[in-house]
Amino acid sequence: MHIHVKICGFTEPTGLVAAIEAGVDSVGLVLDPSPRQLTIDQAVGLAQYVPDHVEVVAVCGRPSLSEVAEIAARLKPSWIQLMADAMPDPEHGFSILPAFEDGPDLLQRVDAYVDQHPDDAPLVLADGPRPGSGVTADWDRVEQLSLSTRLMLAGGLTPENVGAAITRMKPYGVDVSSGVERSRGHKDPDRVRAFVAAVRAAELQLGGE
């Protein structure tokens, strides 16, 4: 079982290169207002460091349709990550990763999304209650999403707890930002390597079950 590793919120090349060398599957470049926000020009510049086998995810929050179109045209990301309540109509043709903030109604919101995709297990990202803050999602609640979706787990993950999260929830993937930083937007290469190593160790454990 391969766990997809996404590291998000890069603002400079050193941490980005460290993540790629550690073996991440995708990198997130934040274009939404946040301490890690990039301009499109900055994101395009950082994307030049990303090899073809690593996906680029444009993390956008709740942009307008025209902003989504510009991001798709200029950055050409593999995915555009949007909050689920801001998704454009499917006919616009963008590859969208829907993100859901944790909260008491999380399961109902995701169920409504799944009902719109009855022929597959859609990929969804379940974040903490305040995305980008390092606050952990309610694992009791989020765990149930792995039954009906390809779950990308985010919110408060670290090298210290990601193995337990994978063993418990068996997600499609995991997403980290603040948990591998030394300061906002600056990744700590040692923590990046430790995070990826913890994920791969958990993979081996699941493979032996």
**What's the CATH number where 64 sits?**
3.20.20.70
Confidence check: pLDDT of 83 > 90: no
pLDDT band at 99 (very low <50, low <70, confident <90, very high): very high
The whole-model pTM stands at 0.92
Contact 101, 142 (CB under 8 A): no
13: pLDDT strictly greater than 90: yes
Residue span of the structural domain in which 25 resides: 4-207
pLDDT at 89: 66
Specify the amino acid at residue 4.
H
- pLDDT per residue as tens digits for the range 22-41: 999 999 999 988 889 999 99
pLDDT at 48 over 90: yes
127 burial via Cβ count (<10 Å: 0-12, 13-18, 19+): buried
Percent of the chain surpassing pLDDT 90: 67
Q: Is the pLDDT of residue 134 over 80?
A: no
Give me the mean pLDDT over the 167-176 stretch: 95
Number of domains into which the chain is organized: 1
Looking at residue 39, its amino acid is: T
Say if residue 133's pLDDT is above 70: no
Q: Please give the residue that has the higher pLDDT: either 75 or 134.
A: 75
Cα 139 from Cα 95, distance rounded (Å): 27
> Which residue from 137, 189, 202, 209 is spatially nearest to 7, judged by alpha carbons?
189
First to last CA, the chain: 11
Q: Which of 18-27, 78-87, 127-136, 160-169 has the lowest mean pLDDT?
A: 127-136
Half-sphere exposure of 95 (CA within 13 A, CB side): 11
